[in-house]
Every structure is written in structure tokens, then in C-alpha cells.
Structure 1
Amino acid sequence: MPEETTLEEAIRRNASGPKSAEVDGQKVEQHSLADQIAADEYLALKKAVKSRTSGLKITKLCHSGA
């Protein structure tokens, strides 16, 4: 879970900071917030698919007779 916390913190930090900055002729620009959220959703979906309990459970149904 440290990856998720780190990613959430990074998104929070980037959202509170400036989108771009320029110092001594060097310009730095971050990805848009929408791109960061999309990347977070993609990584969460990728992790969910790899887990053993990916939301699909296959069981054998048996009726009691009668």
C-alpha cells in the first residue's frame, strides 16, 4: 500500500502547487490533474486485475434434491 499512499500524496501536492514554473530560463511543467487521476485509476484497475479476488467468484451450485 505504500505505492497508493505515495501516489495520492503526489496528486495532492501537484494539485496544490503551480502547473508550471520558470527559473533562469528553464521551464518545468506538470501533467494535468486529469491525466494524474486517469493514471491513478489505470494503476488501481491493473492492480485489481492481478489480484486473486478480482471480483469474479466461480462456485459450484448444488440443489438439495426434492
Structure 2
Amino acid sequence: MPEEKNLAEKIRENALNPKSAEIDGQKVEQHSLKDQLAVAKYLDGKAAVSSPNSGLKITKLQHSGA
């Protein structure tokens, strides 16, 4: 899953960078890691629900005829 790997790489990259930086009066601030992990968990859950094998299996049950 390339997008999953890309997301994990982005979270890793953001964790290594500073939270905020200010250069020439311009300030940049990154979202907290807690927020990034919450988004990653949400997106993983959304992908799991939309997959064809989302954990819900409908089958026809037949008894043995005894």
C-alpha cells in the first residue's frame, strides 16, 4: 500500500522536524504528533471500512438435516 507507506513516512518526517520555526518574522508551526496520529488512525479506519473485506461476511447457513 503506497499511500500507507507515504503516510507513515510523512508522520516520521514531521516528528523529526521542529514543531515551530520563525525566520524573518514568518512563523511556521506543525501539528502535534498526537493530532497526526489521530488523523492516521481515522484514515486507516476509513480505509478498512471501505475495503470489500471489512470484517462483515454474509453467508447462508445450512443445518445438517438431522
**TM-score, scaled relative to structure 1:** 0.92
- After TM superposition, which residue ranges in structure 1, 4 or more long, deviate above 6 angstroms? none
Q: Which consecutive unaligned segments of at least 5 residues does structure 2 have? A: none
Aligned residue in 1 for 2:9: 9
What displacement does 1:28 show?
0.4
Q: Distance in 2 between matches of 1:40 and 1:16?
A: 17
Identity of aligned residues (%): 70
1:29 maps to 29
* Aligned-residue RMSD, C-alpha: 0.8
Structure 1, unaligned runs of 5 or more: none
Equivalent-residue separation in structure 2 for 1:63 and 1:8 (angstroms): 47
Q: TM-score by structure 2 length?
A: 0.92
Q: Determine the C-alpha separation between the residues in 2 that align with 1:15 and 1:43.
A: 18
